[in-house]
């Protein structure tokens, strides 16, 4: 079509060519340019949109927003933090009503289509409202104010509380000796470290010597006083709380661990005794040691408990009254005790949102982020932090790389450097590449079935039905014989140097290969069926269940093809001339691999590792089966020996997103956590990748620089 004029004008070669002729569009390929450009733009748009949404939501979550005091047309008043707005369809009847009186409704309460708009308020105060979120029709709102003295309390339990702080008091039950005239002052002033303060007493029971009273000392009774004293007192309370927590967790945990070890040691002897392997005397001795140990540990425990109780008692004295204007109730110490004001230490953070400037808001914002990344989760994972989750994710990924990289590199080395390239090796290579396409949940099922239940159970309890000792010994001797045969036949079958293998070489080599494989199989069978091994943890399931080690192994398997393929590629791109040079210097094959091939291939290997990390760190499905849990009681790492507990289950960011977002009872409260966690997952994966990339760049500089 468009080529016709081209041919025509070329008719007479002597005629000067017309200069202005245009090459047709299709020939110049302009449309292809547009098409490819559009495709790229679409890709970039999707990436930017994805990152943008996650970033925006992830970043916005922790920004402290204003607290509204909303007065409704029906006269009720409540405090709430506006969360989002939407138009909704209230049904035809109601809609008709609304349209009829639309003139009188406040501006902005209907959208363009005439549908009513409503706003979701986070009202908190779960103890009195019952539900922490509440929809309000914009047309029902009479007025909105933003009083400066209202606060948003983030509490350790029961979510947020919105209200006005009124008093800080010390509440204490104590014994007061009677004064000279036999009375006990029920009111008065007393000296505290904050100055002269008013106190009230309530007598519980009195005797001649004095009385047990409940004493309330009002440290701060006005808003400004509260504000002045609160920061410092809160800090002290936090310190006490942290100390109690640390005692409970580490010191008690340490004693518990020692107790558990003693118990397990005794239980093992007991089990052996049941099997008849241990005499009665030894059992009795073991019991005696165990009981003695138990006693000392219990004494230690009592002492510790006493210290904790004392701290708790002090902690319980510091109270704050924050009143909700709607119900008039104050934030309680516990849901069942509406008359007890909450403890100061139950406050995580006080946000006086309406009174904060940008600086103050930034402070709150960053302190919330810090809490998020450094603390443990609270309230069914919807509040608090995700430190254990980050820790679990990072540790899993590192463990996974530690396992998969050496394994994959060694496999690739064999495939490329040692194996004779042929049909079998091609098939192996294809099989490995296809492993990459297996759905990840399949790996999860395999991991659960093989690692957890088979391997883990073996480690815990030993073989399920072992061979008899006689049979085992026969098997061992057989294995050694086959091994020797394999070695001898292999040696006989080696081709003469400088000569290609003969038929005899090939047959003998094949036979030796089969014998080697047989030896390997028998060896595994000998281990799996050994009658002399009863497992390391017969008393309690340790490895035979979900764990970070099994997860790392499962993911290593999943990412193995990536590493193998990348390494193979890197190895085969090392120039043959360098290998020849090395051999020419008298280097052995292994020396050539180690000194020439591997260093040059290192960046490629790192690329494989980066890809493996990228794939492994974001994987969730297999982890749900082999290791990730909703709430792990302990990290897989402890500051005392043996430090790493690879048998423990762990928390993982990917699984956490799924769990918080879709398994949580309070999805509205969980929504922000989902965004921030998603954001964190991206950050963790990107950080790990960047670290690997930086490492690779350094390696490249070292080797590439030397590559002449």
Minimal distance in Å, beta carbon 580 to another protein? 7
What 3-state DSSP class applies to 30?
helix
Our CB check for another protein shows the closer of 402 and 488 to be 488
Nearest-approach distance from CB 702 to another protein, in angstroms: 8
- Picking from 352, 331, 353, 328, the residue whose alpha carbon sits closest to that of residue 158 is 331
Closest approach of Cβ 691 to another protein, in Å? Answer: 24
The residue from 585, 690, 691, 697 that contacts another protein (CB under 8 A) is: 585
Q: Which is nearer to another protein, 417 or 569 (CB)?
A: 417
For the bound state, the minimum distance from the C-beta of residue 579 to another protein, rounded and expressed in Å, comes to: 8
Q: Compare residues 312 and 417 and give the one whose CB is closer to another protein.
A: 417
Among 498, 633, 639, 665, binds another protein (CB under 8 A): 498
Closer Cβ to another protein, 177 or 586, answer by number: 586
Which of 591, 661, 666, 668 contacts another protein by CB under 8 A? 591
Is 572 a binder of another protein (CB under 8 A)?
no
Q: Which stretch binds another protein (CB under 8 A): 120-128, 243-251, 596-604, 675-683?
A: 596-604
Task: Figure out which of the listed residues 92, 224, 584, 642 binds another protein, where binding follows CB under 8 A.
Answer: 584
The least distance separating another protein from the CB of residue 83, rounded to whole angstroms, comes to 59
In sequence order, what E strands does 193-248 have?
195-206, 210-220
**Residue in 619, 456, 643 with CA at minimum distance from that of residue 546:** 456
Q: In the window 665-704, what residues touch another protein (CB under 8 A)?
A: 702-704
List the one residue from 433, 578, 667, 689 that touches another protein (CB under 8 A).
578
Nearer to another protein, 75 or 584 (CB): 584
The first and second tokens of residue 132, run together, are: 């922490």
Q: Out of 551, 600, 607, 678, which residue is the one contacting another protein (CB under 8 A)? A: 600
Rounded Cα–Cα distance for residues 3 and 652 (Å): 62
Which residue, 29 or 575, is less far from another protein as judged by CB?
575
Residues 439-478 touching another protein, rule: CB under 8 A, are none
Query: Quick one: which of 577, 633, 641, 665 contacts another protein (CB under 8 A)?
Result: 577
Among positions 314, 487, 587, 693, the unique one binding another protein when judged by CB under 8 A: 587
Q: Is 630 or 700 the residue whose CB approaches another protein more closely?
A: 700
Rounded CA gap, 461 and 440, in Å? 29
Contacts of 310 (CB under 8 A, 6+ apart): none
Mask for 500-539, x = binds another protein (CB under 8 A): x---------------------------------------
Question: In the complex, what is the shortest distance from the CB of residue 353 to another protein, in angstroms, rounded to a whole number?
Answer: 59
Residue bearing tokens 């949580």: 664
End-to-end CA distance of the chain: give it in Å, rounded: 54
| 11 versus 706: smaller Cβ distance to another protein | 706
Q: Least distance to another protein from the beta carbon of 663, Å?
A: 52
Half-sphere exposure of 295 (CA within 13 A, CB side): 6
Closest CA to 145 of 233, 218, 78, 243: 78
Q: What would the 3-class secondary structure string for 268-282 be? A: HHHHHHHCCCCCHHH
User: Between 633 and 672, how does the x/- string for binding to another protein read (CB under 8 A)?
Assistant: ----------------------------------------
Q: Are 286 and 266 in contact (CB under 8 A)?
A: yes
28 versus 702: smaller Cβ distance to another protein: 702
Return all residues near 652 (Cβ < 8 A) that are at least 6 apart.
389, 392, 393, 396, 620, 623, 627, 628
Question: At closest approach, how far in Å is the CB of 549 from another protein?
Answer: 37
d(CA 188, CA 215): 11
Build a one-symbol-per-residue string for 392-431: x at contacts with another protein by CB under 8 A, - elsewhere. ----------------------------x-----------
Structural contact between residues 413 and 593, judged by C-beta atoms closer than 8 angstroms: yes
User: Rounded distance, CA 329 to CA 350, Å?
Assistant: 18
* Pick 334 or 585: Cβ nearer another protein: 585
User: Do 288 and 262 contact (CB within 8 A), yes or no?
Assistant: no
Whether 635 and 671 have beta carbons less than 8 Å apart is answered as no
Give the integer Cα–Cα distance in Å for 5 and 2.
Answer: 7
Using left for φ > 0, alpha for ψ between -120 and 50, and beta otherwise, residue 362 falls in alpha
Pick the binder of another protein from 56, 581, 686, 694 (CB under 8 A): 581
- Cβ atoms within 10 A of the Cβ of 192, count? 13
Distances from the Cα of 598 to the Cα of 397, 409, 568, 699, angstroms:
23, 9, 11, 12
Number of chain residues interacting with another protein (CB under 8 A): 30
Instruction: State how far the Cα of 336 lies from the Cα of 623, in Å rounded to an integer.
Output: 39
Q: What six digits make up the tokens of 561? A: 């093809």
Of 94 and 595, which CB lies nearer to another protein in the complex structure? 595
Q: Which is nearer to another protein, 48 or 585 (CB)?
A: 585
Residue with tokens 């004064």: 179
Stretch that binds another protein, among 51-59, 81-89, 454-462, 571-579 (CB under 8 A): 571-579
For another protein, which residue of 499, 503, 633, 665 counts as binding (CB under 8 A)?
A: 499
Enclosing H/E stretch for 341 = strand 337-343
CA distance 29 to 26: 5
Please report where in the chains the tokens 């294995």 appear, as a residue: 479
Rg (CA), the chain: 37
Q: Which is nearer to another protein, 490 or 518 (CB)?
A: 490
In terms of DSSP H, where are the helices of 493-547?
503-528
In the stretch 478-497, what mask flags binding to another protein with x, by CB under 8 A?
A: ------------------xx
Of 408 and 603, nearer to another protein (C-beta) is 603
* Among 120-128, 225-233, 382-390, 593-601, the segment contacting another protein (CB under 8 A): 593-601
Helices 667-705, 653-662: inter-axial angle, 10-degree rounding: 160
Of the residues 84, 261, 595, 698, which one makes contact with another protein according to CB under 8 A: 595
**At closest approach, how far in Å is the CB of 569 from another protein?**
17
How many residues does the structure list for the chain? 708
Q: Rule CB under 8 A: is residue 540 a binding residue for another protein?
A: no
Choice from 2, 588, 663, 687 touching another protein (CB under 8 A): 588
Residue 607 · residue 696 · CB < 8 Å: yes
**3-state secondary structure labels for all residues of 570-590:** HHHCCCHHHHHHHHHCCCCHH
The helix-helix angle for 548-572 and 598-617 (nearest 10°) equals 140
Q: Which of 345, 567, 582, 677 binds another protein (CB under 8 A)?
A: 582
Our finding on whether 282 is near another protein (CB under 8 A) is no
Q: Quick check: 195 binds another protein (CB under 8 A)?
A: no
Among 186, 474, 575, 694, binds another protein (CB under 8 A): 575
Sign of CA dihedral 481, 483, 487, 493: positive
Q: How far is the CB of 597 from another protein (least distance, A)?
A: 10
Residue 555 vs 596, nearer CB to another protein: 596
Q: Which is nearer to another protein, 596 or 624 (by Cβ)?
A: 596
Geometric angle at alpha carbon 543, from 382 and 444, rounded to 5°: 65
Residue from 358, 561, 346, 287 nearest 440 by CA: 561
Residues in the site for another protein, rule: CB under 8 A?
420, 496-500, 575, 577-578, 580-588, 591, 595-596, 599-600, 702-708
């Amino acid at each position: 079509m468009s080529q016709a004029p081209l041919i025509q004008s070329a008719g007479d070669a002597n005629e000067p060519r017309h200069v202005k002729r245009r090459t047709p569009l299709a020939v110049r390929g302009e449309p292809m340019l547009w098409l490819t450009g559009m495709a790229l733009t679409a890709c970039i748009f999707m990436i930017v949109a994805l990152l943008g949404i996650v970033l925006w939501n992830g970043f916005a979550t922790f920004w402290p927003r204003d607290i509204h005091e909303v007065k409704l047309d029906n006269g009720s008043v409540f405090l709430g933090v506006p969360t989002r707005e939407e138009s909704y369809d209230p049904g035809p009847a109601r809609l008709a009503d609304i349209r009829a009186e639309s003139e009188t409704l406040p501006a902005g309460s209907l959208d363009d289509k005439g549908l009513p708009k409503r706003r979701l308020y986070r009202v908190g105060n779960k103890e009195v409202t019952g539900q922490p979120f509440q929809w309000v029709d914009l047309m029902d709102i009479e007025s909105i104010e933003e009083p400066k003295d209202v606060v948003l309390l983030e509490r350790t339990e029961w979510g947020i509380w919105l209200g006005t702080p009124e008093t800080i008091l010390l509440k204490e039950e104590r014994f007061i000796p009677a004064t000279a005239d036999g009375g006990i002052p029920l009111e008065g002033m007393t000296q505290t470290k904050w100055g002269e303060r008013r106190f009230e007493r309530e007598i519980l029971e009195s005797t001649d010597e004095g009385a047990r009273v409940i004493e309330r000392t009002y440290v701060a009774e006005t808003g400004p006083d509260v504000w002045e004293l609160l920061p410092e007192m809160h800090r002290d309370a936090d310190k006490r709380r942290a100390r109690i927590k640390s005692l409970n967790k580490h010191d008690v945990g340490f004693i518990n661990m020692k107790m558990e070890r003693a118990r397990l040691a005794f239980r093992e002897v007991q089990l052996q005794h049941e099997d008849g392997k241990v005499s009665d005397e030894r059992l009795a001795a073991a019991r005696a040691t165990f009981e003695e140990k138990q006693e000392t540990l219990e004494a230690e425990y009592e002492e510790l408990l006493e210290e904790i109780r004392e701290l708790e008692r002090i902690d319980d004295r510091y109270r704050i009254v924050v009143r909700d204007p709607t119900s008039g109730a104050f934030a309680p110490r516990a849901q069942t005790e509406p008359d007890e004001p909450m403890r100061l230490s139950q406050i995580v953070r006080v946000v006086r949102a309406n009174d904060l400037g940008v600086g103050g808001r930034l402070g709150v914002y960053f302190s919330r982020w810090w809490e998020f990344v450094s603390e443990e989760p609270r309230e069914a994972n919807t509040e608090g932090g995700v430190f254990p989750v980050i820790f679990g994710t990072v540790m899993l990924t590192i463990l996974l790389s530690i396992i998969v990289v050496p394994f994959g590199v060694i496999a690739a080395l064999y495939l490329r450097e040692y194996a004779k390239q042929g049909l079998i090796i091609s098939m192996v290579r294809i099989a490995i590449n296809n492993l990459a396409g297996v759905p990840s949940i399949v790996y999860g099922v395999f991991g659960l079935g093989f690692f957890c239940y088979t391997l883990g159970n073996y480690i815990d309890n030993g073989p399920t039905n072992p061979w008899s000792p006689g049979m085992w010994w026969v098997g061992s001797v057989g294995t050694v014989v086959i091994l020797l045969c394999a070695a001898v036949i292999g040696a006989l079958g080696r081709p003469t140097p400088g000569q290609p293998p003969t038929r005899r070489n090939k047959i003998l080599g094949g036979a030796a290969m089969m014998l080697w494989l047989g030896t390997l199989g028998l060896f595994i069978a000998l281990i799996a069926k050994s009658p002399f091994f009863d497992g390391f943890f017969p008393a309690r399931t340790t490895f035979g269940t979900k764990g970070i080690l099994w997860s790392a192994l499962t993911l290593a398997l999943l990412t193995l093809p990536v590493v193998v393929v990348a390494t193979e590629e890197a190895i085969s791109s090392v120039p043959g001339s360098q290998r020849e040079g090395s051999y020419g210097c008298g280097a052995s094959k292994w020396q050539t691999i180690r000194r020439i091939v591997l260093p040059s291939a290192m960046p490629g290997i790192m690329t494989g590792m980066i890809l493996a990390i990228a794939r492994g760190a974001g994987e969730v499905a297999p982890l749900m089966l082999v290791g990730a849990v909703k709430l792990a009681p302990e990290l897989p790492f402890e500051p005392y020996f043996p430090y790493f507990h690879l048998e423990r289950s762990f928390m993982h960011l990917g699984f956490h997103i799924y769990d918080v977002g879709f398994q949580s009872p309070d999805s509205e409260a969980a929504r922000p956590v989902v965004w921030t966690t998603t954001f964190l997952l991206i950050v963790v994966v990107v950080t790990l990748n960047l670290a690997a990339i930086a490492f690779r760049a350094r390696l490249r500089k070292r080797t590439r620089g030397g590559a002449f």
